[in-house]
Amino acid sequence: MGNVSFKKIMIATDGSVCSRMAANHAIEIARLSGGTVYAVYVVSTDYFSSMAVDLDWERMREVLKKEGVQAVNYVAGTGEMGGVKVEPVLLEGHPAAELIRYSREEKMDIIVMGSLGKTGLDRLLLGSVAENMVRHSKIPVLVVKEKCVSEN
Protein backbone atom coordinates (compact mmCIF):
# COMPACT_ATOMS: atom_id res chain seq x y z
CA MET A 1 0.00 0.00 0.00
CA GLY A 2 2.99 2.32 0.39
CA ASN A 3 2.03 5.69 1.82
CA VAL A 4 -1.66 5.48 0.99
CA SER A 5 -3.54 6.42 4.13
CA PHE A 6 -7.28 6.11 4.61
CA LYS A 7 -8.11 8.39 7.52
CA LYS A 8 -11.55 9.50 6.35
CA ILE A 9 -13.62 6.61 5.02
CA MET A 10 -17.13 7.27 3.79
CA ILE A 11 -19.71 4.50 3.61
CA ALA A 12 -22.80 5.27 1.54
CA THR A 13 -25.59 3.24 3.12
CA ASP A 14 -29.27 2.63 2.47
CA GLY A 15 -29.69 -0.02 5.16
CA SER A 16 -29.79 -2.88 2.65
CA VAL A 17 -27.96 -6.18 3.14
CA CYS A 18 -25.45 -5.10 0.49
CA SER A 19 -24.66 -1.79 2.11
CA ARG A 20 -24.33 -3.52 5.49
CA MET A 21 -21.72 -5.85 3.99
CA ALA A 22 -19.98 -2.85 2.45
CA ALA A 23 -20.03 -1.14 5.86
CA ASN A 24 -18.14 -4.09 7.35
CA HIS A 25 -15.40 -3.52 4.75
CA ALA A 26 -15.31 0.21 5.52
CA ILE A 27 -14.99 -0.51 9.23
CA GLU A 28 -12.18 -3.00 8.61
CA ILE A 29 -10.29 -0.43 6.50
CA ALA A 30 -10.73 2.13 9.28
CA ARG A 31 -9.59 -0.35 11.93
CA LEU A 32 -6.41 -1.12 9.97
CA SER A 33 -5.61 2.51 9.18
CA GLY A 34 -6.79 4.09 12.42
CA GLY A 35 -9.33 6.10 10.47
CA THR A 36 -12.86 7.37 11.03
CA VAL A 37 -15.92 6.07 9.17
CA TYR A 38 -18.56 8.54 7.99
CA ALA A 39 -21.84 6.65 7.54
CA VAL A 40 -23.86 8.65 5.02
CA TYR A 41 -27.51 8.17 4.12
CA VAL A 42 -29.24 10.41 1.59
CA VAL A 43 -32.96 11.10 1.95
CA SER A 44 -33.64 10.93 -1.77
CA THR A 45 -35.68 13.72 -3.33
CA ASP A 46 -35.60 11.83 -6.64
CA TYR A 47 -38.96 10.29 -5.80
CA PHE A 48 -40.46 13.68 -5.11
CA SER A 49 -39.96 14.80 -8.71
CA SER A 50 -41.35 11.53 -10.08
CA MET A 51 -44.27 11.22 -7.66
CA ALA A 52 -47.86 12.09 -8.26
CA VAL A 53 -48.73 15.38 -6.58
CA ASP A 54 -51.33 13.76 -4.31
CA LEU A 55 -48.66 11.75 -2.49
CA ASP A 56 -47.57 13.33 0.76
CA TRP A 57 -43.87 14.22 0.42
CA GLU A 58 -43.58 15.24 4.08
CA ARG A 59 -44.79 11.83 5.24
CA MET A 60 -42.50 10.12 2.76
CA ARG A 61 -39.55 12.20 3.92
CA GLU A 62 -40.22 11.14 7.53
CA VAL A 63 -40.27 7.46 6.50
CA LEU A 64 -36.99 7.84 4.60
CA LYS A 65 -35.42 9.78 7.48
CA LYS A 66 -36.37 7.05 9.92
CA GLU A 67 -34.86 4.48 7.57
CA GLY A 68 -31.75 6.63 7.30
CA VAL A 69 -31.33 6.88 11.06
CA GLN A 70 -31.61 3.07 11.33
CA ALA A 71 -29.09 2.61 8.50
CA VAL A 72 -26.42 4.90 9.96
CA ASN A 73 -27.04 3.62 13.50
CA TYR A 74 -26.39 0.08 12.29
CA VAL A 75 -22.99 1.18 10.94
CA ALA A 76 -22.25 3.08 14.17
CA GLY A 77 -23.08 0.00 16.24
CA THR A 78 -20.91 -2.23 14.09
CA GLY A 79 -18.06 0.27 14.30
CA GLU A 80 -18.35 0.45 18.06
CA MET A 81 -17.94 -3.33 18.32
CA GLY A 82 -14.78 -3.08 16.23
CA GLY A 83 -13.42 -0.11 18.16
CA VAL A 84 -13.86 2.23 15.18
CA LYS A 85 -15.20 5.78 15.39
CA VAL A 86 -18.27 6.29 13.20
CA GLU A 87 -19.83 9.67 12.38
CA PRO A 88 -23.49 9.33 11.29
CA VAL A 89 -24.53 11.75 8.52
CA LEU A 90 -28.00 12.34 7.05
CA LEU A 91 -28.23 14.33 3.83
CA GLU A 92 -31.10 15.18 1.51
CA GLY A 93 -31.21 15.51 -2.27
CA HIS A 94 -30.22 13.51 -5.33
CA PRO A 95 -28.20 10.61 -3.87
CA ALA A 96 -25.18 10.46 -6.19
CA ALA A 97 -24.83 14.25 -6.38
CA GLU A 98 -25.10 14.63 -2.59
CA LEU A 99 -22.63 11.81 -1.91
CA ILE A 100 -20.10 13.30 -4.33
CA ARG A 101 -20.56 16.81 -2.94
CA TYR A 102 -20.18 15.67 0.66
CA SER A 103 -17.17 13.47 -0.04
CA ARG A 104 -15.42 16.33 -1.83
CA GLU A 105 -16.27 19.02 0.74
CA GLU A 106 -15.27 16.80 3.66
CA LYS A 107 -12.12 15.59 1.85
CA MET A 108 -12.79 11.86 2.14
CA ASP A 109 -9.93 9.50 1.27
CA ILE A 110 -12.17 6.71 -0.02
CA ILE A 111 -15.86 5.96 -0.56
CA VAL A 112 -17.18 2.47 0.11
CA MET A 113 -20.58 1.27 -1.08
CA GLY A 114 -22.56 -1.83 -1.99
CA SER A 115 -23.37 -2.64 -5.60
CA LEU A 116 -27.04 -3.39 -4.99
CA GLY A 117 -29.45 -1.49 -2.80
CA LYS A 118 -33.05 -1.72 -1.80
CA THR A 119 -35.59 -1.58 -4.58
CA GLY A 120 -39.13 -0.31 -4.83
CA LEU A 121 -40.56 3.20 -4.73
CA ASP A 122 -39.67 3.98 -1.10
CA ARG A 123 -36.10 2.70 -1.40
CA LEU A 124 -32.90 4.25 -2.61
CA LEU A 125 -31.79 2.22 -5.61
CA LEU A 126 -28.10 2.10 -4.79
CA GLY A 127 -27.16 0.22 -7.97
CA SER A 128 -27.54 3.18 -10.32
CA VAL A 129 -26.10 5.45 -7.63
CA ALA A 130 -22.96 3.27 -7.37
CA GLU A 131 -22.52 3.42 -11.14
CA ASN A 132 -22.92 7.19 -11.06
CA MET A 133 -20.40 7.53 -8.23
CA VAL A 134 -17.78 5.44 -9.99
CA ARG A 135 -18.20 7.55 -13.11
CA HIS A 136 -18.15 11.02 -11.51
CA SER A 137 -16.29 10.86 -8.19
CA LYS A 138 -12.72 12.18 -8.11
CA ILE A 139 -12.26 10.28 -4.84
CA PRO A 140 -11.61 6.50 -5.13
CA VAL A 141 -14.81 4.44 -4.87
CA LEU A 142 -14.71 0.87 -3.58
CA VAL A 143 -17.81 -1.00 -4.72
CA VAL A 144 -18.26 -4.14 -2.63
CA LYS A 145 -19.69 -6.84 -4.86
CA GLU A 146 -20.71 -9.44 -2.33
CA LYS A 147 -23.44 -11.90 -3.23
CA CYS A 148 -26.13 -9.96 -1.42
CA VAL A 149 -29.34 -11.82 -0.77
CA SER A 150 -32.24 -9.46 -1.27
CA GLU A 151 -34.55 -9.07 1.72
CA ASN A 152 -37.55 -8.56 -0.55
- CA–CA separation, 99 and 114 (whole Å): 14
Least reliable range by pLDDT among 8-17, 44-53, 58-67: 44-53
**For 117-136, how does the pLDDT look when each residue is reduced to its tens digit (9 = 90+)?**
655 433 444 457 878 888 89
User: What is the mean pLDDT of the segment spanning 77-96?
Assistant: 95
Within a domain: 8: no
Please say if the pLDDT value at position 21 is more than 80: yes
The residue range of the domain holding 107 is 13-144
Q: Write down the pLDDT at residue 101.
A: 97
Residue 31 has phi, psi (to 5 degrees) of -65, -40
- CA–CA separation, 144 and 147 (whole Å): 9
CATH number, domain of 43, equals: 3.40.50.620
- CA–CA separation, 110 and 142 (whole Å): 7
Within a domain: 75: yes
Which residues neighbour 117 within 8 Å (Cβ) at sequence distance 6 or greater?
14, 16, 18, 19, 123, 124, 125, 126, 127, 129, 130
Structural domain count of the chain: 1
Percentage above 90 pLDDT, the chain: 57
- CA–CA separation, 72 and 95 (whole Å): 15
More confident residue, 115 or 20: 20
**For 69-84, how does the pLDDT look when each residue is reduced to its tens digit (9 = 90+)?**
999 999 999 999 999 9
- CA–CA separation, 124 and 65 (whole Å): 12
Within a domain: 51: yes
